[in-house]
Each structure stands twice: as structure tokens, then as C-alpha cells.
Structure 1
């Protein structure tokens, strides 16, 4: 297998992926309409958050919330939705290994 052809080995590929995925957020923390209570209801602190491994794992995970519109999709840790369930802390890829 030639890992050099893999997207994570391409120059700037991870930065471009991050930039593209951040634009797809449900809740943009920089939006004037962002509500204060959403700050404590971000994906990274949801009990249904499963962080991805590798270089993107520090910022991205998969939503496993059956009640969420984002169930089964990759989400930015600072995004959120109305189906948030408090996990009383954030989890990193190292925590689930």
C-alpha cells in the first residue's frame, strides 16, 4: 500500500478538509445569532460524541445520537444541535483507546 497517495499525506490536505468542514457547521460560534447557552452544549461535550483518531481527532468526531439530525455524520467539536446530552466533560481519541 502506498500511503504517500493517501489524503492525509498530501500537503495542506488536512487544513483544506478542516476549512471545508468548518463551513458546514450547524452553529457558528462567530455568528451574532449564536445563543449563550449553546456554548455549554457543544458536540465535544455530548455523550453521543465519538472522536475520530489521527490528525483530525483533536477537532472532529462522529455523532452517535439517535435523536440528532447529525447521527452518523462527522461533526466539528464546537458545533452542536438540539439533541445535545451532557457528558460532563469532553473525550479525546486517547481516552477511548
Structure 2
């Protein structure tokens, strides 16, 4: 973790490659629902979180792959999700953007 920002009293920005890589790997094991996982629905492939109206990307480098679900009826509401995950209550973004 970048200690120079913390030592100087500034807010930590999360721009620490080693820390981010470790988070990414850990979250993939714990948070991610792989397409090969039992119970994964084929229809979810086209309704991935990164194109979800209620998915908010994290800031910094982790935001390239990770965001938070903010849809009150989703079982993932309030959880960090991988951009390629999906769920049953997917709502496409009006501008069709992804990520």
C-alpha cells in the first residue's frame, strides 16, 4: 500500500498496483460468478453488470473491472461485482455503454 500519501495526511487514492492486483485476484475468487459455475444462466452472458444501469464503477484502476450494484431488487444490491457478472433483474443502460 502506498504509505507516502498516508504519511503525508492525504487521502489514500487506491492507486497502488500491488494492492489492486491482490484485490482483483481475491475478489475474483470470492465475488465473481464464472460462466462455468453451476447454476449460471446462459441469458446472463448478454446482461453483464458492466452494461447494467445500476452498476457504478469503482474509481481508479479497480474501476476498470469492478463496480457496485445499486439496484434495490437485486440480490447483489450494495455488493462489489465483476463487470462480466450478471443477475436476474438486469436493466440495460439507456446509452448502451459498458463499464
Within 2, Cα distance between the matches of 1:73 and 1:9?
A: 21
Give the 3-state SS of the residue equivalent to 1:57 in structure 2: helix
- Matches of residues 11-90 of structure 1 in structure 2 within 5 Å? 12-25=18-31, 27-31=33-37, 34-87=40-93, 89-90=96-97
Count, aligned residues: 92
Structure 1 residue ranges, 4+ long, deviating more than 6 angstroms after superposition: none
Provide TM-score, normalisation by structure 2: 0.73
Provide TM-score, normalisation by structure 1: 0.74
Larger Rg: 2
Long gaps (5+) in structure 1: 93-97
